[in-house]
Each structure stands twice: as C-alpha cells, then as structure tokens.
Amino acid sequence: MASAEVFQETRRSLDATGDPNKVIGWVSTGRNPHAGDPMPAHDLRRLLEAAHRAGLRRFIYHPDLILGAAE
C-alpha cells in the first residue's frame, strides 16, 4: 500500500469517528495468518509516518499473531 493510500484510509477512519482518540491503528507484519512477507523497517516507517501525517495518534504493532514462550 502506498503512502498516499495509507494517508487517505487513515484520514477516512479518523473522519468517521470524529475523535482521533477513538482510533488505534493495528500494524501486523508477520507471516501469520496470511503467509505474507515480513515488512522491511523502511516500509514500516513510511506507513507509520503517513498515518501520523493523517492525524493518527496511537497504533498497536505486533510482527506475528502467534506468540511464542518468549512473548
């Protein structure tokens, strides 16, 4: 997803709620559950910067949905 799309979708979510404190972006970059490729750090940074420019104040990040013993 391009930075412009991230900005637009974040802005749409924020506008729909009317309160940026009610929106928490979820960022998941691991292989599970969809067998996707991990997201490189520079792409994650671009995504988060675009969402921040759109007004996002908080996000949750987890690289994998299946937690192991260490987590």
What contacts 57, CB < 8 A, 6 or more positions away? 20, 21, 23
29: left (phi over 0), alpha (psi -120 to 50) or beta: alpha
Q: Is the pTM of this model over 0.75?
A: no
Q: Tell me, what's the pLDDT at 69?
A: 64
pLDDT in tens, 9-60: 999 999 999 888 888 988 776 666 566 666 778 888 998 999 999 999 998 8
Q: Phi/psi at 58 (nearest 5 deg)?
A: -135, 150
The H-or-E segment that residue 48 falls in is: helix 41-54
- Give Cα 12 to chain centroid, integer Å: 14
Please name every residue paired with 28 in a beta bridge, in sequence order, or none if there are none.
Answer: 62
Q: Tell me, what's the pLDDT at 66?
A: 63
Whether pLDDT at 2 is above 90: no
